[in-house]
Chains A and B, each alone.
Chain A
Amino acid sequence: MNFSSYYAQLKYLAPELSLVVFSIVALCVHMFSKKEANKIVKFAAITGLIASLIILFDTPLSNNPLYSGSIIIDGFSFFFKIIFLLSGIMTIMLCYRFYNFEGSEIGEIYYLILFAIVGMMFTVSSVDLITFYVSFETFAIISYLLAGAFKKDLRSAEAGVKYFILGILSSAIMLLGMAFVYGLTGETNFYKISSALPQADLTLALVSMAFFFVGLFFKIALVPFHMWTPDVYEGTPTPIVVLFSTAPKAATFAVLARLIMTVFSGYQFQWSIIFTFIAVVTMFWGNLAALIQNNVKRMMAFSSIAHAGYIMIGFAAWGTLSITAIMFYLIVYLFMNTAAFALIILVQKKMGFGENVDDLKGLARRYPMVAGCIIVVLLSLTGMPPTAGFIGKYYIFTAAVEKGFYLLAVAGALNSVISLFYYFRIGKAMFMETGTEELSDKNISFVKSVIVACSIFILYAGIFPSKLTEFISSIAIK
């Protein structure tokens, strides 16, 4: 073994390492300062994320696994790392308004967010069971902490308990699946398992696959593993929900893609059936349950479940076309979802943030430009042209039709129509007459800029999708 190459390979891990350094700096600042140093911690965290994003674009890519075949820094992981870092940056920007009002800001969450993002970055790069498990649990455990980090609010602690118990239950089941995969093949490397698993007993391989998928489906919040989602999203501080609903889901989708390309590549017939079933159930459940919600946070939680269902259509109809479609949809979903949750932080009353649909009344008169941007976001969430949401859905349904999954495409289109009703309620509320309650405008520019940036991206990617599509298909997993 040549150990000098271990140091040489560090250059591939530069974005992750720089993020670790910045989070340790933030931790030390928080640790050694006597008074409230949250501003510096927040600044260090957001600087670290931006620095890591810049370094990421300078980092060489390699299609060969590094470190004895445990990590791969390919274009596919590069794409998802962009998603995580953008999600982290927008989360911390939204924290400025949220915590300034609530007054119970704890500096810990900023470096915890950074550590969680490091975990996700390693997760999408890992091609080995051990690396995968450790990095997956890194961000999973931190997300339980982040859900319960808002100590003042009982709802946050409850969200933490619910997320924690269900989360470690599902990860224990996933670990059992991993143990069986290892036992059947004697390998931990994804590529080696891929060639060894077809020789194993079919039933045992399928059982281990099912166990493995339970942990992943839980993190993505697919029906029937979605029960935690509305409660956790409601209880968790809103900026953290922005992180929860985008980055870990994207990471888990990436892992799922890697697994079905390598470990379970020999069982396409079986997992395609599972994914088809789950996609249909998830879409319908998410959209129908969202119809009856009055709390915008819960509505968006069900909406995010439904969007995971749309993405699962792409997984059911797996192929070169659907990989591009999934990656396109995920980055669009990042911006749509961030803007939709940022909407909740706009309306700030004396007692807290207005989370109900009725609280949004008069928003259009108060912030006309933001309301216009929100309309773009809502159109995109529904899947209307000329937005990126439409293009994303179009790609996914095309991929389904190309593989012969006509009914899946029809179910997806039908769900887009159902979702119109509850997104329309939000839009309608914004343009209604306003109440007379005193609202606060403190630090609102951060929220506004996030929403405007998201809607500009959505419009741009909706009108000129070809550049983004070309970029994605050039780096997609082969």
Chain B
Amino acid sequence: MFIHTFGPVAIQIAFAIGMALFLLIFTNAIGPKKYNPVKFDTYECGVSYFNDARGMFNVKFYLIAVIFILFDIEAVFIIPWSVIFMEFKKLGLGLFILGEMAVFLGVLVLAYIYIIKKGALKWD
């Protein structure tokens, strides 16, 4: 029934909303209120901000981000491999599956060397 499948989720959502409301109202109610211009800054830490967060980023960030995505996503193949590794080892095929991963990582390393040689990671 509904309550069995979604009950815990509903409780979790209710708790999260309640906690947020409680904190907002409670601090507002009992906290001291001293208003001055610094209070209206984005960060109340003493360092004044210098421009909008939605501005342009340097294109070099894109390059790093793209390279990060490409190497990050390879974990998607490494994790299933590590899960089934022991089963293959029990079948006596440990070397086979290790070699397969070595080929895969070899291609990745080649790509990494390529990136370094092309100067994609140089910052100037």
B-contacting 9-mer, from A24-32, A73-81, A413-421: A24-32
With contact pairs A31-B117, A31-B118, A32-B117 given, residues A24 and B93 touching in the complex (Cβ less than 8 Å): no
Bound: A300/B44 CA distance, A: 64
Ordered by A's residue number, 10 sampled pairs between the chains whose C-beta atoms are within 8 Å are: A3-B93, A3-B96, A6-B96, A24-B110, A27-B114, A31-B113, A31-B114, A31-B117, A31-B118, A32-B117
**Could you tell me the distance in whole angstroms from the C-beta of B66 to the nearest C-beta in chain A?**
13
The 0/1 profile, CB within 8 Å of B marked 1, for residues 28-48 of chain A is 100110000000000000000
Bound: A386/B118 CA distance, A: 52
Majority-rule SS of B interface residues: helix
- Specify which chain B residues have a CB less than 8 angstroms from the CB of A27 in the assembled complex: 110, 114
**Which residues of B (75-115) have their CB < 8 Å from a CB of A?**
93, 96, 110, 113-114
- Specify which chain B residues have a CB less than 8 angstroms from the CB of A24 in the assembled complex: 110
- Specify which chain B residues have a CB less than 8 angstroms from the CB of A32 in the assembled complex: 117
Most buried by B among A3, A6, A24, A27: A3
A-B complex: 9 closest residue pairs judged by Cβ atoms? A31-B117, A31-B114, A3-B96, A3-B93, A27-B114, A32-B117, A31-B113, A24-B110, A31-B118
- Specify which chain A residues have a CB less than 8 angstroms from the CB of B110 in the assembled complex: 24, 27-28
Q: Which residue of A lies closest to B117 (CB)?
A: A31
- Specify which chain A residues have a CB less than 8 angstroms from the CB of B117 in the assembled complex: 31-32
**Could you tell me the distance in whole angstroms from the C-beta of A366 to the nearest C-beta in chain B?**
41
Measured as residues with beta carbon below 8 angstroms from the partner, the interface class of chain A is under 10
Residues of chain B at interface, number, CB under 8 A: 7
- Specify which chain A residues have a CB less than 8 angstroms from the CB of B93 in the assembled complex: 3
Bound: A214/B117 CA distance, A: 40
Q: Which residue of A lies closest to B114 (CB)?
A: A31
**Could you tell me the distance in whole angstroms from the C-beta of B44 to the nearest C-beta in chain A?**
44
Query: B interface vs A, CB < 8 Å?
Result: 93, 96, 110, 113-114, 117-118
Q: A3-B96, A6-B96, A32-B117 are in contact. List 9 more A-B contacts (CB 8 A).
A: A3-B93, A24-B110, A27-B110, A27-B114, A28-B110, A31-B113, A31-B114, A31-B117, A31-B118
**Could you tell me the distance in whole angstroms from the C-beta of A22 to the nearest C-beta in chain B?**
14
Bound: A1/B20 CA distance, A: 56
**Could you tell me the distance in whole angstroms from the C-beta of B81 to the nearest C-beta in chain A?**
15
Bound: A43/B105 CA distance, A: 28
Bound: A6/B114 CA distance, A: 30
- Specify which chain B residues have a CB less than 8 angstroms from the CB of A6 in the assembled complex: 96
Bound: A24/B113 CA distance, A: 13
**Could you tell me the distance in whole angstroms from the C-beta of B74 to the nearest C-beta in chain A?**
14
Bound: A461/B33 CA distance, A: 92
The 0/1 profile, CB within 8 Å of B marked 1, for residues 1-15 of chain A is 001001000000000
Bound: A3/B117 CA distance, A: 37
Bound: A138/B123 CA distance, A: 30
Q: Which residue of B lies closest to A7 (CB)?
A: B96
Q: Which residue of A lies closest to B113 (CB)?
A: A31
The 0/1 profile, CB within 8 Å of B marked 1, for residues 159-173 of chain A is 000000000000000
Bound: A6/B117 CA distance, A: 35
Bound: A27/B114 CA distance, A: 8
- Specify which chain A residues have a CB less than 8 angstroms from the CB of B113 in the assembled complex: 31
**Could you tell me the distance in whole angstroms from the C-beta of A361 to the nearest C-beta in chain B?**
44
- Specify which chain B residues have a CB less than 8 angstroms from the CB of A31 in the assembled complex: 113-114, 117-118
Bound: A3/B88 CA distance, A: 11
Bound: A31/B114 CA distance, A: 6
Bound: A28/B110 CA distance, A: 9
Bound: A31/B112 CA distance, A: 11
Bound: A28/B117 CA distance, A: 10
**Could you tell me the distance in whole angstroms from the C-beta of A82 to the nearest C-beta in chain B?**
27
**Could you tell me the distance in whole angstroms from the C-beta of A390 to the nearest C-beta in chain B?**
47
Bound: A198/B114 CA distance, A: 49
- Specify which chain A residues have a CB less than 8 angstroms from the CB of B118 in the assembled complex: 31
**Could you tell me the distance in whole angstroms from the C-beta of A30 to the nearest C-beta in chain B?**
9
- Specify which chain A residues have a CB less than 8 angstroms from the CB of B96 in the assembled complex: 3, 6
**Could you tell me the distance in whole angstroms from the C-beta of B7 to the nearest C-beta in chain A?**
30
The 0/1 profile, CB within 8 Å of B marked 1, for residues 371-392 of chain A is 0000000000000000000000
**Which residues of A (238-258) have their CB < 8 Å from a CB of B?**
none
Bound: A123/B93 CA distance, A: 29
Bound: A32/B114 CA distance, A: 9
Bound: A3/B123 CA distance, A: 46
Bound: A28/B42 CA distance, A: 50
**Could you tell me the distance in whole angstroms from the C-beta of B80 to the nearest C-beta in chain A?**
14
Q: Which residue of B lies closest to A32 (CB)?
A: B117
The 0/1 profile, CB within 8 Å of B marked 1, for residues 94-133 of chain A is 0000000000000000000000000000000000000000
**Could you tell me the distance in whole angstroms from the C-beta of A149 to the nearest C-beta in chain B?**
15
Q: Which residue of B lies closest to A4 (CB)?
A: B96
- Specify which chain B residues have a CB less than 8 angstroms from the CB of A28 in the assembled complex: 110
Bound: A287/B96 CA distance, A: 55
Q: Which residue of A lies closest to B118 (CB)?
A: A31
Bound: A32/B110 CA distance, A: 12
**Could you tell me the distance in whole angstroms from the C-beta of A205 to the nearest C-beta in chain B?**
30
